[in-house]
A = this chain, B = another copy of it.
Amino acid sequence: MPDAVILLSGGLDSATTLSLAQEQGYTCHALSLDYGQRHKAELTAAKRIATAAGVAGYKIIHLGLDAVGGSALTDAGIAVPNQPGEGIPVTYVPARNTVFLALALGWAEVLGAWDLFIGVNAVDYSGYPDCRPEFIASFEKLARLATKGGVEGGEFHVHAPLIQLSKAEIIREGTRLGVDYTLTVSCYCADAEGRACGLCDACRLRAAGFREAGVPDPTRYRPTLAED
């Protein structure tokens, strides 16, 4: 079975992506990035998801994006909004998916893998530029020029199987595949135990997705911020 590198954040989307890659017959190597994000619970979740999925390999790469800042996710001086806003939100991390895909590409080269999976989504994508199909296509071209494998004639493929799905469709797919969503953490400001705030963009999208999918929402919320 061909090897693939899966970017695994610990959220609902990447857990579903991993499951889809396994369904397609790939031997999956999961990669998480510890990039100074506030929501460390995401990383704990990623490790649990990787273990539950029985991946062939799992790595966490440490990356000091907090040195750069510029995002509510990496800069303690910028608050995570608890109301919907307009335009590209402050939770956008500059060039994040470019960096993450580049790191996945590096590991793929070492493994001899030609397939990368990323759980980006252009429907509920919160306005992030690096979640669009044209970005993914452009990275795929770059990967072929950037690498030893590419120079030697190999072709990297960047799979973004969720890119055209709504959150509800993603949840239905994951439910079909038996993804345990209790293991996933989506909240941008989850507490150390992975309990969600229920207010941030990520929480709102996730809760609406479960409602629309008609799937019971297994998200654990903080007791002080109970759902209405």
**Which of A's residues lie within 8 Å of B, judged by CB?**
59-65, 67-70, 88, 92-99, 102-103, 105-107, 109-110, 129-130, 132, 134-135, 138-139, 141-143, 145-148, 150-151
- A95/B147 in contact, CB under 8 A: yes
- B95 x A103 contact (CB < 8 A): yes
- 5 other contacts beyond A70-B109, A98-B102, with CB at 8 A cut-off? A60-B67, A65-B106, A92-B148, A94-B105, A99-B102
Give Cα A63–Cα B139 distance, bound, in whole angstroms: 21
Query: DSSP class of A's interface residues: helix, strand, loop or mixed?
Result: helix
A95 to B62, CA, bound (A): 16
Partner of A64, one of B61, B92, B129: B61
Contact B59 A62 (CB under 8 A): no
By beta carbon, the residue of chain B nearest A112 is B70
Q: Is the CB of A105 within 8 A of B109?
A: no
Q: Known: A68-B107, A110-B69. Is A142-B98 also a contact (CB below 8 A)? A: yes
- Please, which residue of chain B has its CB at the minimum distance from the CB of A71? B110
Q: How far apart sit A84 and B187, CA to CA, in the bound complex (Å)? A: 52
Do A106 and B93 form a contact, CB below 8 Å, given A64-B61, A65-B61, A145-B135? Answer: yes
Contact of A139 among B68, B99, B134, B142 (CB under 8 A): B142
Asked if B148 and A129 make an inter-chain contact with CB atoms under 8 angstroms apart, the answer reads: yes
Q: Is the CB of B146 within 8 A of A88?
A: no
A68 to chain B, nearest CB (A): 5
Chain B residues with CB under 8 Å of A142's CB are: 98, 135, 138-139, 141-142
**A-B contact list, 19 entries, CB within 8 Å:** A59-B67, A62-B62, A63-B63, A68-B110, A69-B110, A70-B110, A93-B106, A94-B148, A95-B102, A95-B106, A97-B146, A98-B106, A99-B99, A99-B102, A99-B103, A135-B142, A138-B141, A139-B146, A141-B142
